[in-house]
Structure 1
Amino acid sequence: MPSSDQISSAGVSRTSTFLESKYSKYFVIPQRYIFCLLAALIVLNATSIEYSLEIIALNNFISDKQIQTNDTCPFTNQTQKRGQIRPTNDSLLIYDWKLDTRYMIRDSFFWGTLLSFIPGGVCSDQLGGKYIVTLSVLFTAFTNLVAPAIIDMGKGRVGFVIMVRVCLGLFYSVLDAAIMSLLARWAPIYERATMTALIYGSKVLGEQIPYLVHKAFQNFTWRPMFYLFACVHLILGVSWHLLVYPSPAQNPFLTLSEKKYLDEEPDLSLVDGWKEIPWKRLLTSKAFLGLCCFQIGSGWAWVVFRETLFLYMPRVLKSGALWESAWWTPLFLYYGLAIFYGFVADWYVKGRHLSVTAMRKIYILISNFGPALCLIFVSFERCNEFTVMIYTTISLCLDAMYFSSNMTNSLDLASNFSGIITAITGSLEYLIFGLSSRLINRFFTTEDSLSQWSFLLWLTCAIEIAGAIVFLMVGSGETQNWNYVEKAIN
């Protein structure tokens, strides 16, 4: 444990300079939940913006590819009928881009995120996350607002589209680290998993919304979807800037009851302002390295799960249109399950039924070994759509524990550097996203055969379990010694 002189006086209480405002009584919702709600909506809409252009440029193009070999399932009458149905609007398919070019457009977003993830995490931990989020939202909204004009101006030249995607990646990537840095100040120790799941779990919901909006606009034009998400983002950005404060101590509308609750279990290690970052101790920490290994396995598994929905089911199982099928239902239930798992994790920790480390490891054990086994069962079921759907649903339901284990762990290890940890693990995740989808399409699913996909599912099982085993061996839910630092003196 650190000595008392290592703990900054700024971290003694979240609300040490608190004075209750006469307007506090008008806020029915606690201030920490206002922060959570706005952060969740921003993450949700930002994720919708991320996938908008990908859907328009790529989705219909891929869905039209139908391969019939001896090692795939036979076409059904429903599938053949659906193959003749085309939307009136072909979106960006009017441009003569090859499939590899369309993949390049999709992946350029990931390369943009890699440029700003870590700088965004450092700035969030050193300067505070509120204004980083505000700038991210405003720049992302502006880029998405002018994206149709830039694409039209380019007249099909890929460089213009890639420029838009890279800019969106640059502005989007700082969100995760900035919000995590704010969670270190706003989330009570016994609400960390719930608040983290509430905010970051909205990503999966935000990934599905563009598909619904695209379907609604597909017989008109593709541009309204950009304008819609940009306007919503601007509204959320203004609301965020007006209602969210960098810390509880700076919030004048905090009620006395919420102040007392936040001060029940204060994080005494928190240091506000500029502080020296122990890079060497952080990067060589066993707990941090275990978290990184787990992130690699989890990121690869998530990409394979998405490819299973978009490629394996329609092109190998010949399952028909995804929009009208039950395959999508678990994706909308995922968010609710993530919040529920977060609540359960906090309940166990608060009641001291399990330690933080034990709770995180139990969730990682279940949320990785369970889905990995489901992937193996999928490979055995071959063309049986119903049982494949059951195993896929179970896999997704278990994977919803991800936010209460992996995402929350950065707060457990080092609240002073949670933004930096989130930025590094996020960089690994998006690097996997950018590489794995291309590798899967180029080396594992060239023929879209059952045998190729079976090999991919078994490989994914091995990668996911390996990452989980490393975390189970060296991972931790305890605050690390290198988290205790002093505020830098100018």
Structure 2
Amino acid sequence: MTLKATPSVPPPPPAAMNSLHSSLFLSVPPLSSTHRKPGAASESCLLHSSARQRLLSRRDSGAAHSRGWLWGNRLLLGPSSDAVFSCTARASRGYQPGPLPAGEDDGLLRRQSVLEFLTSERVKVVAMLALALALCNADRVVMSVAIVPMSAANGWTKSFAGVVQSSFLWGYLFSPLIGGALVDYYGGKLVMAWGVTLWSLATFLTPWAAETSLWALLAVRALLGVAEGVALPSMNNMVSRWFPQTERSGAVGLAMAGFSLGSAIGLLISPVIMSKAGIFGPFVIFGLFGFLWVLAWVSAMSDSPSTHPQITKYELEYILNKSPKRPMLHKEKDAKVSGMLPPFRRLLSRMPTWALMSANAMHSWGFFVNLSWMPIYFNMIYRVDLRQAAWFSALPWAVMAVLGYSAGVISDMLIRSGLTVTFTRKLMQTIGFVGPGVAILGLNASRSPFVASAWLTVAVGLSSFSHSGFLVNIQEIAPQYTGVLHGLSNTAGTLAAIMGTVGAGLFVERMGSFRGFLLLTSLLYFISSIFWNIFASAEPVDFDKTS
């Protein structure tokens, strides 16, 4: 067989063609040393599906068998098998490091091995982000456990306990918006470092504040909210720089898995520590862990791949070539996209922004109601003790971590398989709203703590699909305003969380039951799903253009 040359793509050398057709498996020997990327002696390039199609289209009629073999194995290996077929296309033209020429198919970049990916710098970044978010949520949830003995010791009513719980949200109300602007200007590394430092300090000082006065306790909890408000904008900022679009759902899913595990860890460990070190023991321990995290983060992380001293040339090129929609990614100060105030009016004039804000509001309502009230719910409705209530409440968060990461992987696979990003985001968010809405109806009808825990697990677990819905969508519609847009949506979410957390306490105190409040929450989930599917979009929005 022969391959007809074209002016734009010179044919591979005869040796490569002989190797290409010499066996049923189309195996190709490693590239010669003259075409290898420095530092990657045994690397080979992979042929993207579109390039493979160009190759197949130029064969004579006898190529049908080879074409059938290729596509048969693609069906066997799945949609990701586009990159498992070796080639020498780039080698035959003389591979040179650096961004691909304009119009070049970036699929010709070979896929990293599993070991290379697991040891890459971007995986280290998302691992540190996951650990930070785990600490973030653990520091929040400690009060959900401690509030039970604290209420008994101080004679607090359910409504006042709701006020203490919501004091965190007072500080959290506007800090994501301010933190988002800071993240867009200074970058995620610096802002996240200061955030973890301050919230760890607030957690560490909680025992002192509780022994001093009620106002001191409320102030420290508000400081915790102020500091933690920068966590998610910083995470989104770092992921948008370090990961190409086809990997972002998985990266956000992994980071948010740490967020969910933080809830489970806090709920499970806090009662044990309290039994050994008193009510305030967990606050001290989690605060100290936060300080250790800051030391590791500052010494090992960088704002962007181009400023990281240890990143490999291949990984840097891979991130740059796979992220064409963020042209400033390779610049050292790409966080400083503008010295002006963000265009809030134009941001709020687009319906995709309101879709994000409404989705965050509903997600936060359900999240904080579950986080704050479930230990009390099991203690009050089913008369289980504090440690048992913590176990019943912790299981859903562990499942949420697993399902959240799985949703991210599935989302990336759907996009790579050819589904539009907009459809994928709408699908993930629909599962994240309709699933919990149905599960809460089941929770409301439960008559035993085990059945209730099962329904709660389904509700919280499926809500993690939102991480591959609205949370990733923030990076897509406005990459230059990721932090600010996240702050806007988070402010809406915090307002909803305050209403839900305080409202649950007032509702239970007035009505003596959670059931009516759970019905309201389920209804809001269904309404939010409809609004999202009508107005959400993953297409980039030009917020700098006056409408």
TM range, smaller chain: 0.7 to 0.9
What letter corresponds to residue 169 of structure 1 in structure 2?
A: G
Match of 1:60 among 131, 149, 159: 149
- In structure 1, the partner of 2:476 is 412
- In structure 2, the partner of 1:206 is 262
Q: Distance in 1 between matches of 2:231 and 2:364?
A: 18
Deviation at 1:225, TM superposition (A): 1.9
Q: Distance in 1 between matches of 2:456 and 2:143?
A: 27
Q: Distance in 2 between matches of 1:143 and 1:309?
A: 24
- In structure 1, the partner of 2:245 is 189
- In structure 2, the partner of 1:456 is 517
Distance 1:39 1:255, change over 3 A: same
- In structure 1, the partner of 2:165 is 106
Q: Is the 8 A contact 2:477 2:537 kept in 1?
A: yes
Q: Is the 8 A contact 2:432 2:463 kept in 1?
A: yes
Q: Distance in 2 between matches of 1:305 and 1:59?
A: 15
Distance 1:244 1:285, change over 3 A: same
Map 1:74-473 → 2, pairs under 5 A: 94-95=153-154, 97-152=156-211, 154=212, 157-219=213-275, 220-271=277-328, 272=334, 273-275=336-338, 276=340, 277-306=342-371, 309-318=374-383, 322-323=388-389, 328-352=394-418, 354-379=419-444, 381-383=445-447, 385=449, 387-443=451-507, 446-449=510-513, 453=515, 455-473=516-534
Q: Is the 8 A contact 1:370 1:398 kept in 2?
A: yes
Deviation at 1:312, TM superposition (A): 4.1
Q: Is the 8 A contact 1:315 1:448 kept in 2?
A: no
Q: Distance in 1 between matches of 2:160 and 2:305?
A: 48
- In structure 2, the partner of 1:35 is 125
SS at structure 1 position matched to 2:352: helix
Per-residue CA deviation, residues 447-481 of structure 1 (Å, 9 max, x unaligned), is 434xx61x333322221111111110010111112
Q: Distance in 1 between matches of 2:343 and 2:327?
A: 15
Deviation at 1:317, TM superposition (A): 4.4
Q: Is the 8 A contact 1:416 1:483 kept in 2?
A: no
Q: Is the 8 A contact 1:204 1:331 kept in 2?
A: yes
Q: Is the 8 A contact 1:296 1:467 kept in 2?
A: no
What letter corresponds to residue 478 of structure 1 in structure 2?
A: E
Q: Distance in 1 between matches of 2:346 and 2:271?
A: 49
TM-score after normalising by structure 2: 0.71
Which has the higher mean CA deviation after the structures are superposed, 359-368 or 274-283? 274-283
- How many residue pairs get aligned? The number is 425
Q: Distance in 1 between matches of 2:379 and 2:527?
A: 29
Q: Is the 8 A contact 1:40 1:199 kept in 2?
A: yes
SS at structure 1 position matched to 2:469: helix
SS at structure 2 position matched to 1:479: coil
Q: Is the 8 A contact 1:54 1:105 kept in 2?
A: no
Q: Is the 8 A contact 2:179 2:233 kept in 1?
A: yes
Q: Is the 8 A contact 2:357 2:490 kept in 1?
A: no
Deviation at 1:280, TM superposition (A): 2.0
SS at structure 1 position matched to 2:459: helix
Distance 1:207 1:328, change over 3 A: closer
Deviation at 1:150, TM superposition (A): 3.8
Q: Is the 8 A contact 1:341 1:404 kept in 2?
A: yes
SS at structure 1 position matched to 2:173: helix
- In structure 2, the partner of 1:19 is none
- In structure 2, the partner of 1:68 is none
Deviation at 1:268, TM superposition (A): 3.4
Per-residue CA deviation, residues 57-112 of structure 1 (Å, 9 max, x unaligned), is x13367xxxxxxxxxxxxxxxxxxxxxxxxxxxxxx54455544433222111101
What letter corresponds to residue 429 of structure 1 in structure 2?
A: G
List gaps (5 residues or longer) in structure 2. Answer: 1-97, 101-114, 329-333
**Aligned residues: CA RMSD:** 2.8
Q: Distance in 1 between matches of 2:154 and 2:391?
A: 30
Q: Distance in 2 between matches of 1:47 and 1:387?
A: 26
Q: Is the 8 A contact 1:375 1:391 kept in 2?
A: yes
What letter corresponds to residue 184 of structure 1 in structure 2?
A: S
Distance 1:387 1:44, change over 3 A: closer
Which has the higher mean CA deviation after the structures are superposed, 240-249 or 386-395? 386-395
Per-residue CA deviation, residues 100-157 of structure 1 (Å, 9 max, x unaligned), is 44332221111011242211111111221211111112222233333333433x1xx2
Deviation at 1:326, TM superposition (A): 5.4
Distance 1:281 1:178, change over 3 A: same
TM-score after normalising by structure 1: 0.79
Per-residue CA deviation, residues 304-357 of structure 1 (Å, 9 max, x unaligned), is 4447733444433456663486564332122011111101101111232x1110
Q: Is the 8 A contact 1:270 1:416 kept in 2?
A: no
Q: Distance in 2 between matches of 1:250 and 1:55?
A: 42
What letter corresponds to residue 348 of structure 1 in structure 2?
A: L
Distance 1:34 1:355, change over 3 A: same
Q: Distance in 2 between matches of 1:206 and 1:424?
A: 24
Q: Distance in 2 between matches of 1:229 and 1:102?
A: 22
Q: Distance in 1 between matches of 2:448 and 2:279?
A: 36
Q: Is the 8 A contact 2:360 2:492 kept in 1?
A: yes
Deviation at 1:191, TM superposition (A): 0.8
Q: Is the 8 A contact 1:297 1:465 kept in 2?
A: no
- In structure 2, the partner of 1:84 is none
List gaps (5 residues or longer) in structure 1. Answer: 1-11, 15-24, 63-92, 486-490
What letter corresponds to residue 191 of structure 2 in structure 1?
A: I
Q: Distance in 1 between matches of 2:369 and 2:475?
A: 28
Distance 1:264 1:389, change over 3 A: same
Identity of aligned residues (%): 19
Deviation at 1:170, TM superposition (A): 1.4
Distance 1:13 1:200, change over 3 A: farther
What letter corresponds to residue 291 of structure 1 in structure 2?
A: L
Which has the higher mean CA deviation after the structures are superposed, 308-317 or 113-122? 308-317
Per-residue CA deviation, residues 340-375 of structure 1 (Å, 9 max, x unaligned), is 1101101111232x1110001111122211221222
